[in-house]
C-alpha cells in the first residue's frame, strides 16, 4: 500500500528520462508512485506516467507582495485531488507526478501542498517531507513574506509551513475527514462575515464589526448583530476588540456576550499589559473567543499566535504559518519579529503554568501575573501612547490605516470557481460584484450576495 512505503527519495526514474535536462530543474520522489517535479514546460502523460499541475488551479489571492502559503481549503482540495488520483483504477500502474513551473512563488506553494499531503496522509515528519522535496536539487524554495507594503523583515519557509501543519494536526486543530470546505470558503468571504477559525472551538479571527450593516462603496459592512446567530451556534462567548472603538460594546454584552477592549495601534505589537490581559481572558473563558482588530489580520493574528506558542509550544514560524494557512495575510511587519523574540519566554510561561496546574487546582491568574513579568518587550515594540487611543491613523493625518487598506483589498476579491463536485454552483462567474449587491439575502445574519437569476 502507498501509505506504508518507507522510501523517500529515488534517483531520476527511467520512465521520465526522455525529459531534457534543460526542461527539468528538479525531479523528486516521495514514494515509489508519487513524484514532485519542477519543469520549464508542460509534459505529456505517457503509458507509465501521469502528470498534473495545480499552479493555475490553486491560486493565492495576494494583498501586496505576499504570495502564500495557500489557505486550508486549497490544501484540503489538493489532498482530495491527489487521493483520487492515487486510488484511480485507470492510474493504478502509473507513476503520479505533480509538476510545477520555474516560477519561484508557484513552486513554493506547490511544495507546501505536496509536502502537506506527505505529512497528513503519508505520516511523514515535516523534516522527512522537506528532505524529500530538496533531495537532489540545488534550487532552494523561495520563502514566503507578509502582507505589508514595506520591506520583508521575516522569512517564512516551506519547512515552517509543514511544521505548522503537523503541530496543528497533532493538537486536533483540523481533520480532513470532517472538514467542511464549503463552510470555510463561505465565511471567509467579506460579504459573509470575513471570519476564520484558527483553533476550532477556541479562537475565531474576524474583521471588525461596524455600527450598521450596509454596503458602502461596494464594501460590505456588518453590525455586531449580524454575528449573533453564528456566534451562538458555535459557542462563541467572548469578543476581544483590539482596534479603536467603532461600535458600542453594549450591543454584544446586552446580547449575553462578554466583551473586552485591548487596544494597541494598527501595525504595532502589544505591550506587556495587553499580552498578559489577553492570555488571562482566553485562559479563563468558557467557550470560544472571537478576536478582531480592523481587518482581523495583524494584531489579531499576533495575540492568537502568543497563545499558540504558550499553550501548544508552537515556534514563531509554526504559529505564523498555521495562522496564515487558516487566515491568509495574518501577522504583519514587526509583529513577526515580535513573536520570534518572545518564543522562549512564552514557552517558559506555558511550561510553568501547566506544571503548576498539574500540582494544584487553583486559578491560573496569580501565577500568570507573576510569570508575565518575564515577558518584557524590546522598547521598539512598546506602545508609547498612554491613552490607549489614536485620533489619527498610523500612516499620518486622517488617512487610511493598514487595516483599512487590507480590508478594502480583500473586499474586491471574486469567489473562486468550484474545483470539486462538492462545491455549490458559483453565482458570481463573469459578473461584477457591484451589480450583485442590489440583491441580498440574509444568511446567518450576514448579507449574502446572490445572483437574481437563481433567487
Query: 64 Cβ partners below 8 Å, 6+ apart?
Result: 147, 148, 149
Sheet containing 95-100: which strands, arranged edge to edge? 24-29, 34-39, 95-100, 49-52
Known catalytic residue: 80? Answer: no
Measured CA to CA, the distance from residue 147 to residue 63 in angstroms comes to: 6
Q: What is the DSSP letter of 440?
A: E
Supply 7's cell numbers. 522510501
Cis-peptide into 128, omega within 30 deg: no
Q: Dihedral angle at the C-alpha atoms of 260, 266, 267, 269, nearest 10 degrees?
A: -40
Residue 98 near residue 112 (C-beta atoms within 8 A): no
Residue 26 near residue 136 (C-beta atoms within 8 A): yes
Measured CA to CA, the distance from residue 397 to residue 358 in angstroms comes to: 51
Cβ-based burial of 93 (10 A; exposed 0-12, middle 13-18, buried ≥19): exposed
Among 282, 293, 306, 326, the active-site one is 293
CA atoms within 13 A on the CB side of 45: 14
| Residues assigned a catalytic role | 293
Amino acid at each position: 500500500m502507498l501509505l506504508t512505503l518507507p522510501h523517500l527519495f529515488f534517483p531520476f526514474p527511467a520512465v521520465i528520462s526522455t525529459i531534457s535536462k534543460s526542461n527539468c530543474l528538479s525531479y523528486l520522489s516521495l514514494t515509489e508512485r508519487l513524484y514532485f517535479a519542477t519543469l520549464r514546460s508542460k509534459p505529456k502523460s505517457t503509458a507509465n506516467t501521469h502528470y498534473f499541475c495545480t499552479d493555475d488551479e490553486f491560486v493565492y489571492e495576494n494583498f501586496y507582495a505576499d504570495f502564500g502559503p495557500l489557505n486550508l481549503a486549497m490544501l484540503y482540495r489538493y489532498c482530495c485531488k491527489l487521493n483520487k488520483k492515487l486510488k484511480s483504477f485507470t492510474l493504478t500502474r502509473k507513476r503520479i507526478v505533480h509538476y510545477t513551473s520555474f516560477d519561484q512563488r508557484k513552486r513554493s506553494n506547490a511544495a507546501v501542498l505536496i509536502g502537506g499531503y506527505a505529512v497528513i496522509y503519508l505520516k511523514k515528519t515535516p523534516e522527512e517531507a522537506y528532505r524529500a522535496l530538496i533531495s537532489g536539487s540545488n534550487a532552494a524554495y523561495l520563502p514566503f513574506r507578509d502582507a505589508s507594503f514595506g520591506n520583508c523583515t521575516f522569512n517564512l519557509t516551506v519547512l515552517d509551513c509543514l511544521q505548522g501543519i503537523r503541530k496543528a494536526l497533532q493538537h486536533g486543530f483540523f481533520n480532513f475527514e470532517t472538514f467542511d470546505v464549503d463552510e470555510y470558503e463561505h465565511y471567509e468571504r467579506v460579504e459573509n462575515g470575513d471570519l476564520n477559525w484558527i483553533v476550532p472551538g477556541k479562537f475565531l479571527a474576524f474583521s471588525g464589526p461596524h455600527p450598521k450593516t450596509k454596503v458602502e462603496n461596494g464594501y460590505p459592512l456588518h453590525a455586531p448583530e449580524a454575528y449573533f446567530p453564528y456566534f451562538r451556534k458555535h459557542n462563541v462567548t467572548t469578543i476581544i476588540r483590539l482596534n479603536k472603538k467603532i461600535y458600542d460594546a453594549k450591543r454584544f454584552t446586552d446580547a449575553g456576550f462578554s466583551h473586552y477592549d485591548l487596544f494597541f495601534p494598527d501595525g504595532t505589537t502589544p505591550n506587556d499589559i495587553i499580552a498578559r490581559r489577553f492570555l488571562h481572558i482566553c485562559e479563563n473563558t468558557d467557550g470560544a473567543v472571537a478576536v478582531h482588530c480592523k481587518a482581523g489580520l495583524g494584531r489579531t493574528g499576533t495575540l492568537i499566535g502568543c497563545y499558540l506558542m504558550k499553550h501548544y509550544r508552537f515556534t514563531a514560524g509554526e504559529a505564523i504559518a498555521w495562522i496564515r494557512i487558516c487566515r491568509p495575510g495574518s501577522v504583519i511587519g514587526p509583529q513577526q519579529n515580535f513573536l520570534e523574540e518572545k518564543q522562549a519566554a512564552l514557552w517558559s510561561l506555558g511550561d510553568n503554568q501547566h506544571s503548576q496546574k498539574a500540582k494544584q487546582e487553583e486559578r491560573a491568574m496569580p501565577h500568570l501575573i507573576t510569570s508575565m513579568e518575564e515577558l518584557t518587550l524590546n522598547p521598539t515594540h512598546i506602545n508609547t501612547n498612554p491613552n490607549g487611543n489614536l485620533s489619527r491613523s498610523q500612516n499620518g493625518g486622517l488617512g487610511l490605516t493598514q487595516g483599512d487598506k487590507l480590508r478594502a483589498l480583500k473586499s474586491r476579491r471574486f469567489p473562486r470557481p468550484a474545483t470539486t463536485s462538492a462545491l455549490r454552483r458559483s453565482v458570481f462567474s463573469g459578473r461584477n460584484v457591484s451589480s450583485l449587491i442590489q440583491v441580498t439575502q440574509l444568511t446567518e445574519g450576514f448579507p449574502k450576495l446572490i445572483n437574481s437569476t437563481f433567487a
